Structure 1
Amino acid sequence: MGSREIELGTSYNVEIISSITRLGANWSPNKLCSSHGCKSREIKLSGALAAAGLIAVHASKHLPDHQWEKYAVVTLLDCRSILEPPLSSNNLGFYHSAIMNTHDINGGNTLWELAKRCYNAFANAKNSNKHFTDMSDLNFLMCKAIENPGLTPSSSMRTAFISVFEDPVIDDSSEVHQELGVEDYEGCASVHGVGPSIAIFDTIRDGALNCACVYPSPLHSREQMQDLMDRMKRILVDGCDDVESES
């Protein structure tokens, strides 16, 4: 597990740090994405990552299994290909839009059942063009949260529990980095102000899944986030084992 810190500035006289931890590095996503995993359920990896996060956070609170909690998931999608005219991935700039869905979770949820629910909720909203029609509403709510932190839970300015990307970044450039002497790196972005408690930046790097998890500090401690990441990894690994037993 690796970790880094990036200072972003100050807010309400409290120094805000965007900290990074990793959801385990260099393990293959093949089982998760195989014909017995995501493909057979007609979902994407983002659904499994979101579901693992939701199950992990419920378990971390040591709540009774029957107790329900509501969490919001934000899924970011790259709109380049659906613009008119469409843009290629080589066009620089931020062309992502967001879809927010809420889910009721209890201790009885399983990874694949919840992953399908998370992804289907996102896909249905996307098919209804919510990433465009709700854009102004989301921006309005974000601005109101910045102006009135008390509207968010514990005045934390957290508008969702977790954010994921619809599709992972595919990176097969390790040979180039080795030639340049780069041993390790992470690619992510962090904004000052409102946002999720955890932002997942997933990359399939040379066939291995690498996830950077960005969170606000001191709102959340590194120990708290590391425990959550460890739980997520165990849930995903167990999900891989379930897939293997089905094959």
Structure 2
Amino acid sequence: GCKTRGIKLCGALSAAALIAARLSKCLPDGEWEKYAVVTLIDCRKLLEPALSSHHVGFYHSAILNTHDMKGGEELWELAGRTYTSFADAKNSNKHFSDMADLNFLMCRAIENPGLTPSSSLRTSFISVFEDPVIDETNEDHKELGIEDYMGCASTHGVGPTIAIFDTVRQGKLDCACVYPFPLHSREQMQELIDNMKKILINSL
């Protein structure tokens, strides 16, 4: 679906999450809400000299976009809108030019939690990666006796309500979802993720 529309998976994941989040509030259609999406970009290939994807370290930058939702949005239209906003910002080098501003705002939020919604230290609703990890090493893992695994990173402090670490493993989408506890409960997040899955599957 993403390939036929010229967008990346991060657009569809963001759109499904935004639709699910707004549905969870049971707001009437036509009532506008604003949501922020942070898209993380692996900058290793953009450096001089370029680094391989296996180079150890954190080389990600981020672009923050906000989206207005009024209810009744369709997945693929919203996915196109979220991805286009991100792509336009990236083409304008926002992931480099805005880095100092984002770091400044993060520091201010840490020092003044009251500046964030409900003093929650949440800077966005969701964070996604521009590109998923592609994993085709299933046979090697079987030989080692590994049945399942996931990879993600998390830090305490300022961050999104939910961070999605997506991997395409043997042609199947596998996501690890990280959220701040006890700010949000497992039941609350499970309901959100279940609704995201329904939205994605029903739109295929």
Q: Same fold (TM over 0.5)?
A: yes
User: AA paired with 2:157?
Assistant: G
Alignment correspondent of 1:128: 92
Matches for 1:51-200 after TM superposition, within 5 Å? 51-200=15-164
Structure 2 gap ranges (5+): none
Equivalent-residue separation in structure 1 for 2:186 and 2:29 (angstroms): 26
User: AA paired with 1:236?
Assistant: L
User: AA paired with 2:77?
Assistant: E
Q: Count matched residues.
A: 204
Higher strand fraction (1 or 2) = 1
The reply on whether 1:205 has 2:132 as its aligned counterpart is no
Residue by residue, what CA displacement relative to the aligned partner does 1:199-239 show, whole Å, maximum 9, x if unpaired?
A: 00000011111011100000001110000001000000011
The reply on whether 1:237 has 2:201 as its aligned counterpart is yes
Equivalent-residue separation in structure 1 for 2:3 and 2:185 (angstroms): 35
User: AA paired with 1:176?
Assistant: D
User: AA paired with 1:49?
Assistant: L
Runs of 4+ aligned residues of structure 1 deviating over 6 Å after TM superposition are none
| Relative contact order higher in (CA < 8 Å, ≥ 6 apart) | 1
Q: CA deviation at 1:40?
A: 2.4
Counterpart of 1:216 in 2: which secondary structure?
coil
TM-score normalized by the length of structure 2: 0.98
User: AA paired with 2:85?
Assistant: A
Structure 1 gap ranges (5+): 1-36, 241-247
TM-score normalized by the length of structure 1: 0.81
Equivalent-residue separation in structure 2 for 1:239 and 1:45 (angstroms): 14
Counterpart of 1:144 in 2: which secondary structure?
helix
